């Protein structure tokens, strides 16, 4: 192949969710270390919300869903346990599921130090099975947006399976306002994102593609190192409340309320995110 062919491949636009590499961020030794550091930085909204927001969010969740001793909660995409540990501190019986072995290891160590009994499971939450029946399942930090339509359907089916009758779902998503704010772009840089992708020298391309009909954005990262080239596809689905409610209804859930965020702020139609509380039919 020529350099021209390589550049053609780098700048090619795949179909929506044609390639899926979500686990790469969380399972690669170097990038998982970077992601964990972002999780644990309570001053920034990156892998996790700021610590002050999480504190406020947990207080609202505990009140809204009547969390108390023995309340069974499933935290899907739990990361290093920032929500799980706080909810367990209120007496809830929490199970956290996450791709990242590094995050799960940190969460287990933290639970041991704090004397908390939390069941942490390292694995793909799309494949998670359990005999436990939760009263509440959560998917926070817009994880739902990273899933394809087929995966979202499977996720809601799995929620149906693991929830007890009348159990609740809480999750947040990006809105169409956020979609409109995104722009297609191409960016090239040595050591793209300040060395995020590798401890060794590399060159990085970031291609941002918008799919207007599907309301999807792809950030396509092409990382070129001495030993080879790899591509990471970061897909994000953007929602209107109407579309999200349609998916929930098809999955057997009734929407109870819309909020601006998972701390219970009033719904804002002009905001870039919103949250949904729904109940298993």
Quick: pLDDT tens for 20-50. 997 777 778 898 888 878 767 866 666 567 8
Task: Note the pLDDT of residue 140.
Answer: 96
pLDDT average, residue stretch 203-232? 97
Domains held by the chain: number: 1
The residue ranking higher by pLDDT, 37 or 77, is 77
Q: Is residue 15 part of a domain?
A: no
Q: Is residue 230 part of a domain?
A: no
* 199, two tokens: 């401890």
pTM for this entry: 0.94
Q: Is residue 166 part of a domain?
A: yes
Alpha-carbon distance 109 to 54, whole Å? 20
Q: Is residue 184 part of a domain?
A: no
Looking up tokens 């020529």 gives 2
* Residues near 260 by beta carbon (within 8 Å), at least 6 away in sequence: 266, 267, 268, 271, 273, 274, 275
Contact 124, 155 (CB under 8 A): no
Q: Is residue 28 part of a domain?
A: no
Q: Is residue 73 part of a domain?
A: yes
Q: Is residue 234 part of a domain?
A: no
- Look up the CATH number of the domain holding residue 248: 3.40.50.150
Range of the domain at 168: 54-177+240-280
């Amino acid at each position: 192949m020529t350099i021209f062919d390589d550049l053609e491949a780098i700048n090619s636009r795949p179909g929506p969710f044609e390639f899926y590499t979500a686990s790469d961020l969380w399972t690669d030794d170097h990038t998982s270390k970077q992601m964990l550091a972002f999780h644990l930085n309570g001053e920034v909204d990156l892998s996790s919300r700021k610590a002050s927001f999480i504190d406020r969010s947990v207080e609202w969740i505990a009140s809204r869903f009547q969390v108390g001793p023995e309340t069974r909660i499933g935290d899907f995409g739990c990361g290093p346990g920032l929500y799980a540990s706080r909810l367990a501190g209120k007496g809830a019986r929490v199970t956290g599921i996450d791709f990242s072995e590094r995050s799960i290891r940190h969460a287990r160590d933290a639970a041991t130090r704090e004397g908390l009994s939390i069941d942490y499971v390292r694995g793909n939450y799309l494949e998670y099975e359990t005999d436990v029946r939760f009263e509440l399942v959560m998917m926070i930090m817009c994880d739902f947006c990273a899933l394809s339509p087929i995966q979202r359907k499977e996720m809601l089916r799995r929620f149906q399976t693991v929830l007890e009758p009348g159990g609740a779902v809480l999750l947040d998503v990006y809105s169409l306002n956020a979609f409109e704010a995104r722009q297609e772009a191409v960016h090239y840089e040595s050591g793209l994102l300040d060395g995020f992708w590798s401890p060794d020298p590399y060159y990085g391309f970031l291609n941002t593609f918008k799919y207007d009909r599907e309301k999807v954005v792809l950030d396509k990262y092409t990382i070129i190192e001495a030993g080879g080239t790899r591509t990471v596809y970061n897909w994000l689905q953007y929602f209107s409340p109407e579309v999200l409610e349609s998916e929930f209804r098809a999955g057997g859930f009734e929407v109870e309320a819309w909020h601006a965020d998972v701390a219970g702020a009033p719904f804002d139609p002009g905001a870039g995110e919103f949250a949904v509380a729904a109940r298993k039919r």
